Amino acid sequence: MPPRLLVIDDDAALNLALCAHFEDRGWRVTGVHNCAAGLAATTGATFDVVLLDVQLPDGEGVELLGRLLEIDPDLPVILITGGRDIERAMQAIAAGAFDWLSKPFEPAELERLVDRAHAARQATAADGAETDDAPARTLVGESRALLEIGKTLARVAPSDTRVLITGESGTGKEVIARLVHTYSGRRGPFVAVNCAALVETLLESELFGHERGAFTGAHAAKPGKFEQAAEGTLFLDEVGELPPTMQAKLLRVLQEGVFERVGGIQTLHTRARIVAATNRDLLVEVAAGRFREDLLYRLAVITLHVPPLRERREDILPLARHLLARAGRRLGLATVALAPDAEARLRARDWPGNVRELDNVLARALLHARGPVLTADL
């Protein structure tokens, strides 16, 4: 079966030319000219790649991008922009676009981009169901707060700037950290460590590694998270839980870029980018003497605050649809829709556990669903 391409562009001549070009290359192509038609096309069929113009007669391409990714979170969408739309293109990348191309462009350049997007689509399909540790590609939601986070991500991700992400538990801080890494262009891996999950002695070994014989049970040398992250990103979750001695050791790494393994004498260097997260107010912790002020300012070059769901209720339904689709793939179950009364109940709830709680409720409801529509008794 030939791969399917959707072209959404209101320039009739360009739309026709793109359709003809890719049909000649063996694609099955659908061309539409506005947001409504594009949304209708993806609701009724599955596409392998989408070419999306940044400006359409009935709306912004970036807004349509979010709707398309709600329907199919793994859909590669390539944004086509004018020469002065670079900022919107970067916003689209932060929102989950596969890539972007500025007019005018060479056919060969577009072909390479479409082929790369198609290869990514095939790889995703081959990998099977999305897992909880799959790379984040998009922020799901419509709130002003999320839009501002996306704009900041677009500016900050390509740099080496350290980022501190704050917010209540379950708000999706690690998703944002992964997005910073995804759009940073760094060659190394994303490595995460929960600073609250280990006692101090184990945490030091986890972060910095240890040499053979450094302590009882250390039968072999082991690299720590700083070495594992190498040229990538090290995510320090719950950094506000670090004990004072570990705060001092982390500060040295941030200031000098060097450390030693536990039990070692060789000084090692790191180029990993540091992204940290906390559910505490670190300024309060500093005032109480529980967190180092100099460490806070080293970590928080840029601060991103993720509000709880109760303060951004317009994000609840887009998130719910996204999480239902993901749970369906993970559990091997058919996709279900939300009835109006279910949507109202979801929006009315305060969600003290935030996105994590919403995800659990929807996965449980999906397992017990008796039909293609979830009602208010979910």
Query: Residues 328, 333, 336, CA angle at the centre, nearest 5°?
Result: 65
Fill in the amino acid letter for 280.
Answer: R
Report pLDDT digits (tens) over 295-347.
Answer: 999 999 999 999 999 999 999 999 998 888 888 877 777 778 899 999 999 99
d(CA 53, CA 192): 36
User: Which contiguous run of DSSP H or E holds residue 69?
Assistant: helix 61-71
Overall average pLDDT of the 264-282 stretch: 95
* Torsional class of 123: left (φ above 0), alpha (ψ -120 to 50), beta (otherwise): alpha
Q: Identify the sign of the CA torsion 150, 281, 279, 164.
A: positive
Average pLDDT value for the chain: 88
Average pLDDT value for residue range 68-88: 80
pLDDT, residue 261, reads 93
With beta carbons less than 8 A apart as the criterion, state whether 90 and 184 touch.
Answer: no
> How do 373-374 and 273-278 pair as beta strands?
unpaired
Of all residues in the chain, what percent carry a pLDDT higher than 70?
Answer: 94
User: Under a CB-based contact definition with an 8 Å cutoff, are residues 89 and 81 in contact?
Assistant: yes
Q: Is the pLDDT of residue 127 over 80?
A: no
Domains of the chain plus CATH, in order, are: 4-127 (3.40.50.2300), 144-305 (3.40.50.300), 310-374 (1.10.8.60)
**What pLDDT was estimated at residue 24?**
93
Sequence length of the chain is: 378
Residue 95: closest CA among 54, 39, 37: 54
Question: Given a cut of 80, is residue 168 above it in pLDDT?
Answer: yes
